[in-house]
Amino acid sequence: QVQLVESGGGLVQPERGSLRLSCAASGTIVSLNSMAWYRQAPGKQRELVARVSGSGGTNYADSVKGRFTISKDSDKNTVHLQMNSLKPEDTAVYYCYADYIQLDRIRDWRPVRRETWGQGTQVTVAS
């Protein structure tokens, strides 16, 4: 079973503050189709923040374009989210997500596609 371990959340001031979230995938992975960061604010639905594909292509929510940057370290199955010029509306629990291929020993070691979520890390932007 692949697990995602997130780090880097915290409290920062609006506009001045920056944070860097990291997410490391542990376990046996044949390949990563994509990794992403989602967020969920109180009373709102979980939304996509940024995604990076296995080939390195990225996409971002309109609300974070120009402020957030997602990057990956393929050798370490790790993804980072650099967040600059943070705003109060960025306050949320941020969740790491991975879409990956794994060999299933129950199914004669056939490659199967799976997805998993991290437990979330709190980001609070306030004066």
Over 90: is that where the pLDDT of 75 sits? no
Percent share of the chain, pLDDT over 70 = 100
Q: Average of pLDDT values for 90-107? A: 94
Residue 79 confidence (pLDDT)? 97
Please provide the average confidence, as pLDDT, over all residues in the chain. 94
> DSSP states of 101-127 as a string?
EEEEGGGTTEEEEEEEE---EEEEE--
Residue 1 confidence (pLDDT)? 80
Both tokens of 59, joined, read 């996409």
Between strands 31-40 and 19-26, the pairing is: unpaired
Structure confidence by residue, pLDDT tens digits, 24-69 = 999 888 889 999 999 999 999 999 999 999 999 999 999 999 999 9
